[in-house]
Chains A and B, each alone.
Chain A
Amino acid sequence: MAERAEHTPMDGVEKDQPIVICDEVHVEYRTLSTGKRITPGSATGILQRGGRKLQTVHALKGVSFVARANESIGIIGTNGSGKSTLMRTITGLTPPSRGAVYAKSRPNLLGVGAALMSDLSGSRNIILGGLAMGLTREEIESKYDEIVEFTGLREFIDMPMRTYSSGMSARLKFGIATAAQHEILIVDEALSVGDRDFQKRSEARIREIREAAGTVFLVSHSMRSIRDTCNRTIWIEKGVLRADGDTKDVVKEYEKHK
């Protein structure tokens, strides 16, 4: 995997330049096994921390790959195989327990939804979501109309988000999240939302981003969207990298396995 392009100056993105490198990434989660925070009298728990059952989940077991400029990489695998953990590790949200991730810029996860507040209107949420992704107020204002246009929610934009249908709020989230210029973009199953028309628009949007600069990671269970948008696919199973290569071959192998 270490074949190198001609040495290039640091600025300017060259084709085949590595953008993201995962080096033997391990992730272990520690959680309380009950998943409950309190039982009566557990206030004493702080004095005997070792006494509570801490469970370790080994979500990623040494994943390595190099992603290059202008690649669009599909991530596939069964539920709980570690796909989302891998994506969160690439963005630096879940730090690896061992190994390291290197990236040209901080990758962006299409996960703006967590920043939004359901009691507030769509327009307030566009501002809040934009700020949460690191846009400045001016940038948001200049993109505001474009976002509203893309989501097609113009007449509902002043209503609280809790009144939106799930498809409507998914459109809003996607619209906000893709408003920023991304060098590295991670899309976690966002393409399966919305009606046919919106799916087309979001796929086009992703292709745009890819052409503009970047590397796109697409996590999905839909082999159709993987085939349509990705030129390379990585298959993860139980935290281990099972296959990495041309989308056609990997998807075929994955479907045979199922």
Chain B
Amino acid sequence: MSKSSELAEEYGLARVGARPSLPSYLKQVWERRDFTLSLARYRIQSENERNRLGMAWVLLRPIFSACVYGLVFGFILAGSRPPNFVSFVVIGVFLLEFFNSSMNGGSKAIISNSSLVQSLPFPRMVLPLAKVLECLLNFMPTLLLMVAITTFNGARPNLQWLLFIPLIVLFTIFNTGVALIFARLTVHFRDLSQFIPFVSRMIFYTSGVFFDPSRILKNFPEWEPVYNWHPLHNVLSIARGILLPDYDIPWHFWGQFAIWAVVILVIGVVFFWKAEERYGRES
């Protein structure tokens, strides 16, 4: 204890930049919800100002990638295409787009905003949260488009479709956790942001975007229980079960994915908060 800290105590001065406890940190984050929301909305706007077609790109991007994957793998898989192939691929690509953009965006949330981090005080968790929110807002129109395309291909609206709401909630929770984890990791390991495209490609090819994994797993029955914990495979299977008449909802995946979502979110929040004091320095 030096003279200064005694003086500080006498006059009730608090140490600047000390990491708040988790509950009060989360309270601060909640108090900044307006900022988080505006950051997400204005980013989308400013992104769209730059292109002539503006908001249309939110829809065009996943449509183009669905076309590419659909055509390429439609030919490669020729005989063993899963039923209702167009809807199958569209659901896979569109949902994965939400996950990938959250993970990518989250990983850059702190490092690409270092000047903001160094010039204004606010709980840093706002940045990855705003990013996920931005991805969610961008995802909404693609969700509608996805429903339109599947309806066009023979799916019929029914009450079960309401299950999409809890699915999107869980999916957003899961993506938030992933974004928070990567937001901190890239601060410590800059090079990781270069590695992330490979991670997302790996996830893309293993989660069954354009093939039915169960067909392959028939040859490796001992791996099936392990593979069934693949979180993105869970999401895609549930979504197809909800939307497509040719597929059943795998009910046990709900519980599994809910566990995934909650666990990843808790890990993400704690992991991100632990380094709150360091985001300004290591950049």
Please report A residues at the B interface, Cβ cutoff 8 Å. 2, 4, 7-8, 10, 17-24, 27, 29-30, 32, 37-38, 42-43, 45-46, 49, 64, 66, 88-97, 100-104, 106-109, 111-115, 117-120, 124, 127-128, 131-134, 136-137, 160
Interface string of B250-279 (1 = CB under 8 A from A): 000000000000000000000000000110
Q: Which residues of B contact A160 (CB under 8 A)?
A: 49
14 A-B contacts (beta carbon < 8 Å): A4-B7, A18-B11, A45-B189, A89-B16, A90-B16, A97-B281, A100-B16, A101-B16, A112-B120, A114-B113, A120-B49, A124-B42, A131-B34, A132-B120
**Quick check: A100 and B15 within 8 Å, CB to CB?**
yes
Chain B residue with the shortest CB-CB distance to A5: B11
Partner of B116, one of A42, A45, A95, A114: A114
- Stretch in B77-85, B88-96, B191-199, B205-213 with 4+ CB within 8 Å of A: B191-199
Q: Which of B121-161 contact A (CB under 8 A)?
A: 121-122
**Nearest CB of chain A from residue B281's CB, rounded to whole Å:** 6
Most buried by A among B12, B16, B32: B16
> Which A residues are CB-close (under 8 A) to B4?
21-24, 64, 66, 100, 102
Residues on B lying within 8 angstroms of A by beta carbon are: 2-5, 7-8, 10-17, 32, 34-35, 38-39, 42-43, 45-46, 49-50, 113, 115-122, 189-195, 198, 277-278, 280-282
B11 touches A104 (CB 8 A): yes
Assembled-state Cα–Cα distance A65/B230 (Å): 56
The answer on a CB contact under 8 Å between A128 and B39 is: yes
CB pair B13–A102 under 8 Å, yes or no, is yes
CB distance from B17 to the nearest CB of A (A): 3
Contact A119 B2 (CB under 8 A): no
| Given the contacts A24-B2, A114-B116, A137 and B34 also touching, CB distance less than 8 Å | yes
Tell me which of B35, B121, B192, B282 contacts A92 (CB under 8 A). B121
Measured between alpha carbons, how far is A29 from B118 in the docked complex, in Å? 13
Additional 16 contacts, C-beta under 8 A, given A49-B189, A88-B119: A4-B10, A10-B11, A18-B13, A46-B192, A92-B17, A94-B280, A95-B277, A95-B281, A100-B4, A109-B119, A109-B121, A111-B120, A112-B119, A119-B46, A119-B49, A127-B38
Closest 8 CB pairs of A and B: A92-B17, A111-B119, A102-B8, A23-B4, A119-B46, A102-B13, A131-B35, A45-B191
B282 touches A104 (CB 8 A): no
Find out whether the CB atom of B34 lies under 8 angstroms from the CB atom of A136.
yes
Q: Are B7 and A66 in contact (CB under 8 A)?
A: yes
Please report the C-alpha to C-alpha distance between residue A102 and residue B14 in the assembled complex, in whole angstroms. 5
Give the residue of B15, B113, B119, B193 whose beta carbon is less than 8 angstroms from that of A102: B15
**What's the minimum C-beta distance from A82 to chain B, rounded to whole angstroms?**
14
Least CB distance from B186 to A in Å reads 10
Measured between alpha carbons, how far is A37 from B100 in the docked complex, in Å?
22
* A38–B42 CA distance with the chains assembled, in angstroms: 30
Q: Which residue of B lies closest to A134 (CB)?
A: B122
A94 to B191, CA, bound (A): 22
* B8 in complex: contacting residue of A21, A38, A95, A132, CB < 8 Å: A21
Q: Are B13 and A114 interface neighbours, CB within 8 A? A: no
Q: Is there an interface contact between B5 and A100, defined as CB atoms closer than 8 Å? A: yes
Closest to A27 in B: B281
B45 / chain A contacts, CB cutoff of 8 Å: 119-120, 124
In the complex, A54→B281 CA distance in Å?
13
Closest to B116 in A: A114
Please state if B34 and A95 are interface contacts (CB–CB under 8 Å). Answer: no
Contact, CB under 8 Å: B191 / A114: no
Q: In the bound complex, how far is the Cα of B5 from the Cα of A20, in angstroms? A: 11
Please give the distance in Å from A234's CB to the nearest CB on chain B. 16
- CB atoms of A115 and B281 under 8 A apart: no
- Chain B residue nearest in CB terms to A19: B13
Q: How far is the CA of A222 from the CA of B209 in the complex (A)?
A: 62
Q: How far is the CA of A216 from the CA of B74 in the complex (A)?
A: 67
In the complex the two chains form, is A42's CB within 8 Å of B38's CB?
no
Determine the residue in chain B with the shortest Cβ distance to A38: B194
What CA separation (Å) do A222 and B45 show in the bound complex?
39
Which residues on the A side are within 8 Å of B198 (C-beta)?
43
Given A92-B16, A93-B119, answer yes or no on A2-B38 (Cβ-Cβ < 8 Å). no
Given the known interface contacts A94-B280, A95-B17, A114-B115, the answer about A119 and B120 at a Cβ–Cβ threshold of 8 Å is no
